[in-house]
Amino acid sequence: MKFSATTIVAFAGLAAAAPTKRQSGPTDADILNYALTLEHLEDTFYREGLANFTQADFEAAGYDETFYGNLKRISSDESTHVSFLTGALKAAGATPVEACQYAFGVTDVNTFLVTASVLEGVGVSAYLGAAADIMSKTYLTAAGSILTVEARHSSYIRASLKQTPYPQPFDTPLSINSVYTLAAQFIISCPSTNPALPVKAFPVLAASSSDMSIKKGSTVMLSTPGYMLKAENDAPVYGAFITVTGPIIVNATMVEGGYEVVVPEGVNGQSYVVLTGCADAVNDNTVAAGPAIVEAS
Ligand SMILES: *[C@@H]1O[C@H](CO)[C@@H](O)[C@H](O)[C@H]1NC(C)=O
Ligand SMILES: *[C@@H]1O[C@H](CO)[C@@H](O)[C@H](O)[C@H]1NC(C)=O
């Protein structure tokens, strides 16, 4: 892509804000590469979806020309985020990650939009969760300016699915490892030349219910391939719904195939629940599996 004058000015600013490192935790270059990992995923997703489905396919599914044009705009935003972060990493002397191979499991316009909504929501939670780890204020502002745009994408796609565009007064920050756990489910393999990131995926946790949107107070089933291991000891297991003010922790009841939890008051829209043995806190040392995504209403 050709960089405009303003883009070059922005890169110069980012280069001046060389990555700094705190005593422990990820460097700013790690965080930018983590963001770039997600942007590559989104960018590929929209380009693939717009190659899979024509404007006529969207119209047949009930989405008009304006909507299709706006999807193309989202796709272009994601491509711009990729080139922006790639340029910022290069300007800082770091090696940017390249796109991976993905499996999105999209079969029609509807599954495309449902997956788009999940990805945009995870993107918002990823940038929000990483914000506190970014050392450079210049990078923080750049990441914030991407976060707000991802939030608009999320609202627009949620509205198109007849979901509340802004389902709660606070968005949910997710840790880098939690986001990576969700993103890794779409990744088949990445180029071996990509720099290794300080991330790990937790065991996958899947939420299922008869409804796409789960009412608060109703039960959702959480299943993880590792649940039999847990079943061997008697320690209690909890479901922790992540929120900005701390987790909302509920009992997880073992059932055939996994655990059941009741969706609590205080979560709305695209929500995230982890299984944990810890009754009062959630951190990377206490997550047993997840997060799973629960669309709560
Ligand atoms: C595009 O189509 C392929 C083949 O049906 C499918 O596997 C993939 O998930 C689709 N991707 C998107 C983003 O629509
Ligand atoms: C969770 O389980 C504990 C122990 O069985 C019980 O005392 C408590 O009332 C349960 N909490 C809820 C919200 O069901």
Per the structure block, which two tokens stand in for 49? 């979806």
Helix 28-52 × helix 137-160 angle, to 10°: 30
Q: Which domains does the chain possess? A: 3-189 (1.20.1260.10), 206-296 (2.60.40)
Distance from residue 51's CA to the centre of ligand 1 (Å) = 9
pLDDT at 10 over 80: no
pLDDT band at 15 (very low <50, low <70, confident <90, very high): very low
Can you tell me the distance from the alpha carbon of 87 to that of 94, in angstroms, rounded to the nearest whole number?
Answer: 10
Residue 204 DSSP symbol: P
The per-residue pLDDT for range 188-200, each reduced to its tens digit, is 999 999 999 999 9
Q: What is the mean pLDDT of residues 58-75?
A: 98
Distance from residue 252's CA to the centre of ligand 2 (Å) = 9
* Ligand 1 and 48: CB distance under 6 A: yes
The closest of 130, 134, 118 to 173, measured between CA atoms, is 130
Mutate-to-test residue for ligand 1 from 71, 78, 104, highest number of ligand atoms within 8 A of CB: 104
Can you tell me the distance from the alpha carbon of 258 to that of 275, in angstroms, rounded to the nearest whole number?
Answer: 10
pLDDT band at 22 (very low <50, low <70, confident <90, very high): low
pLDDT at 13 over 50: no
DSSP string, 163-199: S-SS-SSSPPP--HHHHHHHHHTTEEE--TTSPP-S-
Q: How many CB atoms lie within 10 A of CB 212?
A: 10
Residue 294 DSSP symbol: E
* Ligand 1 and 84: CB distance under 6 A: no
Per the structure block, which two tokens stand in for 23? 């005593």
Q: How many CB atoms lie within 10 A of CB 179?
A: 26
Closest atom of ligand 1 to CA, residue 49: 14
pLDDT at 17 over 50: no
Q: What is the mean pLDDT of residues 146-175?
A: 97
pLDDT confidence of residue 203: 93
More confident residue, 54 or 6: 54
pLDDT confidence of residue 231: 52
The per-residue pLDDT for range 194-235, each reduced to its tens digit, is 999 999 999 999 998 766 788 889 999 999 876 654 555 678
Q: What is the mean pLDDT of residues 86-113?
A: 97
Distance from residue 286's CA to the centre of ligand 2 (Å) = 20
H or E segment at 113? helix 109-131
pLDDT confidence of residue 210: 60
Question: Which value, to the nearest 10 degrees, does the dihedral of the CA atoms of residues 270, 275, 280, 283 take?
Answer: -80
H or E segment at 258? strand 258-262
pLDDT band at 181 (very low <50, low <70, confident <90, very high): very high
Is-cis flag, bond preceding 198, omega within 30?
no
* Ligand 1 and 46: CB distance under 6 A: no
Distance from residue 204's CA to the centre of ligand 1 (Å) = 22
pLDDT at 1 over 50: no
pLDDT confidence of residue 218: 92
* Ligand 1 and 112: CB distance under 6 A: yes
Distance from residue 103's CA to the centre of ligand 1 (Å) = 8
User: Chain centroid to CA 37: how far?
Assistant: 11
- Closest ligand to residue 116's CA: 1
Distance from residue 100's CA to the centre of ligand 1 (Å) = 15
Closest atom of ligand 1 to CA, residue 103: 9
* Ligand 1 and 45: CB distance under 6 A: yes
Distance from residue 50's CA to the centre of ligand 1 (Å) = 10
pLDDT band at 7 (very low <50, low <70, confident <90, very high): very low
pLDDT confidence of residue 226: 66
**Three-state secondary-structure class, residue 79:** helix
**Three-state secondary-structure class, residue 271:** strand
Per the structure block, which two tokens stand in for 204? 């996958």
Residues ≥6 apart with Cβ < 8 Å to 44: 99, 102
pLDDT confidence of residue 257: 84
pLDDT at 2 over 70: no
Distance from residue 130's CA to the centre of ligand 1 (Å) = 29
More confident residue, 141 or 7: 141
Asked if residues 266 and 281 have their Cβ atoms less than 8 Å apart, the reply is no
* Ligand 1 and 188: CB distance under 6 A: no
H or E segment at 248? strand 248-251
Dihedral sign for Cα 268, 271, 277, 281, please.
Answer: negative
pLDDT at 165 over 50: yes
pLDDT at 4 over 50: no
Q: What is the mean pLDDT of residues 52-70?
A: 98
* Ligand 1 and 202: CB distance under 6 A: no
Q: What is the mean pLDDT of residues 146-165?
A: 97
More confident residue, 8 or 40: 40
**Weakest mean pLDDT among 32-46, 230-244, 267-281:** 230-244
pLDDT confidence of residue 86: 98
189: β partners = 101
